[in-house]
Amino acid sequence: MLRTTAFDAHHPPDQDLIDDCVHCGFCLPTCPTYVLWGEEMDSPRGRIVLMNRGLDPGSDMSAEMVTHFDRCLGCMACVTACPSGVQYDKLIEATRPQVERNHNRSVIERLWRGALFAAFTHPARLRAMVPLLSLYRLSGLKAVVGASGLLDRFPRLGAMERLTPPVSPSAMVRRLPELTEASGDKRARVGLLQGCVQRVFFHQVNEATVRVLAADGFEVVAPASVRCCGALMLHSGYEEKSFALAKKMIRAFEDCDYVAVNAAGCGSSMKDYGHLLRDDPEWSAAARAFSDKVRDVSELLEDFGPVAERHPIHLAIAYHDACHLAHAQGVRHQPRELLRRIPELTLSEPAEWEVCCGSAGIYNLLQPEAGAELGRRKAANLLATKAQAVVAGNPGCTLQITSHLEEQGEEMPVYHPVELLDMSIRGARPPDSSIRRASGGDGAHRAAGRSASAGPGGREGDGGATPEGGAGGVGRRRGKPTGEEKP
Ligand code: SF4
Ligand code: SF4
């Protein structure tokens, strides 16, 4: 495509949206890369300046520009923080496909990204890897590779190895029923996205989601044929590849009143289909209608209100805000309210709630050093709450947090909110062996309690208020930005 600026003519970043930024800097303390490195060009404000420069006639898509865009996690904490309503989400979503079209990535970079998409967007391929992963752990090969230092030389492979969870061979065969009747009077017909990583590595979350929805009066349709929502590709700028997946998804859930999602990254991209397919005359209306039906499972349950009785769970939890839920979708109040309805559950909030854990789709596999630094920081803040377990609504966050808790020598289960709801409805309790012993520290407070202050970007009263009870952050560390990584 012909270019006279850094960007081609197909949906470059919108000049009007760029001009909304008044350069006040309120977003800076919530931006993970600025928090890590203190570099202006690794802040939302700096990246918006780069986009503006890229629209100048004669400008080029420089390697420096690409580096700063690539380092953005797409966490959208800046969107929550910005008092001027700057739509950085729309700006970076327009910029990423431009980078992929107009910048030549190295062969290694293209191969690595291609391999990640080839594996993570195909549940069947993930399932096929289950016996290999089990063998790797059980045969002692994992220990041998760890001792060899090989993974230190290839940080991306090291990150992949650390993040891969132990999987039971049953992950190869477990399937959800395609139709589950509502218990009692039917309130709505709900389609459930099974997802890719969620379906294979966190099947128990999907099972719990179906049980909770059915118990609260929803008929659940969970078509196995819907492979992937395309979120990983969409958030990485591979727009075209996500179109076909989006269309398949729209068709599969046509007859549903709502589409429920239990993975934050998937939900945020599915709510964006209307925008994504806006140029397609055949699909634009259907895509908009589809996006209007998409709900995070916590939104759906909270909007309709509970039906099934909630039984007590005596457990102290720390709630982790998944960025694609809290910032990209603005869903902060609903999951907390759902958890507060569980008698005896106490909810604490970690310091720096708004700062990403470093997972961000495949960010921790593309920028492993920055991802790991953010993961360590998040784990330390969660541990400081003295909670017995963590609750998070996104599989990527669960993998990242679990890995960094383990790195710090701590065993602390990470639950999805629906897993606790499911236990509460069934009158079950978390296995004693899995929960962390130390509890009830300064950071914990009763679930019904409200925060007294709003953090950077938090808006008091909208459910996004910052927790007051965190036992202190881990401090603003500064370090060097990481460069391009090798697998
Ligand atoms: S808070 Fe908003 S207006 Fe202020 S610098 Fe950040 S993006 Fe720009
Ligand atoms: S999306 Fe996240 S990493 Fe990117 S500029 Fe905004 S706050 Fe920073």
Q: For the residues 447-453, what does the mean pLDDT come to?
A: 32
CB–CB of 468/347 below 8 Å? no
Give the CATH number, domain containing residue 60.
Answer: 1.10.1060.10
The type of residue at 248 is: K
Q: For the residues 278-297, what does the mean pLDDT come to?
A: 96
**Better-predicted residue by pLDDT, 175 or 190:** 190
pLDDT of 473 over the 50 cut: no
Nearest ligand 1 atom to the CA of 45 is 5
* Probe target for ligand 2 pocket from 23, 33, 329, with the most ligand atoms within 8 Å of CB: 33
Q: For the residues 166-172, what does the mean pLDDT come to?
A: 73
Which range among 177-191, 350-364, 402-416, 451-465 shows the weakest confidence by mean pLDDT? Answer: 451-465
CA 44 to ligand 1 centroid distance, Å = 7
Ligand 2 and 384: CB distance under 6 A: no
Same domain? 297 vs 200 = yes
Q: For the residues 36-54, what does the mean pLDDT come to?
A: 97
Domain that holds residue 140: 107-172
What value does the mean pLDDT of the chain take? 86
Same domain? 415 vs 330 = yes
State which of 75, 102, 129 marks the end of a domain.
102
Confidence of residue 437 (pLDDT cuts 50, 70, 90): low
Ligand 1 and 21: CB distance under 6 A: yes
Same domain? 69 vs 140 = no
Ligand 1 and 233: CB distance under 6 A: no
Confidence of residue 226 (pLDDT cuts 50, 70, 90): confident
CA 89 to ligand 2 centroid distance, Å = 9
Same domain? 98 vs 113 = no
Ligand 1 and 78: CB distance under 6 A: yes
CA 92 to ligand 2 centroid distance, Å = 9
CB–CB of 23/30 below 8 Å? no
Same domain? 200 vs 156 = no
Q: For the residues 195-202, what does the mean pLDDT come to?
A: 84
pLDDT of 475 over the 50 cut: no
Ligand 1 and 15: CB distance under 6 A: no
CA dihedral of residues 422, 424, 427, 433 (deg, nearest 10): 90
CA 112 to ligand 2 centroid distance, Å = 23
Cα→Cα distances 19→2, 76, 329, 442, Å: 25, 18, 23, 44
Is there a domain that residue 145 lies in?
yes
Q: Determine the Cα–Cα distance for residues 245 and 18; give it in Å rounded to an integer.
A: 30
State which of 302, 322, 339 marks the end of a domain.
302
Measured by CA distance, the residue closest to atom 6 of ligand 1 is 27
DSSP 299-357: HHHHHH---SPPPP--EEEEEE--HHHHTSS---HHHHHHHHTSTTEEEE--TTTTS--
State which of 172, 193, 222 marks the end of a domain.
172
The contacts of residue 296 (CB under 8 Å, 6+ apart) are 260, 261, 262, 264, 267, 325, 329, 331, 334, 335, 393
pLDDT of 408 over the 50 cut: yes
How many domains are contained in the chain?
4
**Within 10 Å of residue 31's Cβ, how many Cβ atoms?**
28
pTM of the model: 0.86
Same domain? 124 vs 240 = no
Same domain? 295 vs 355 = no
Is there a domain that residue 133 lies in?
yes
Is there a domain that residue 160 lies in?
yes
Identify the H or E element spanning 379: helix 368-384
228-252 pLDDT per residue, tens:
888 888 888 888 888 988 999 999 9
Q: For the residues 129-157, what does the mean pLDDT come to?
A: 79
Ligand 2 and 457: CB distance under 6 A: no
Q: For the residues 132-155, what does the mean pLDDT come to?
A: 79
Give the CATH number, domain containing residue 379.
Answer: 3.40.50
Report the relative pairing of strands 345-348 and 444-446 from DSSP bridges. antiparallel
Confidence of residue 98 (pLDDT cuts 50, 70, 90): very high
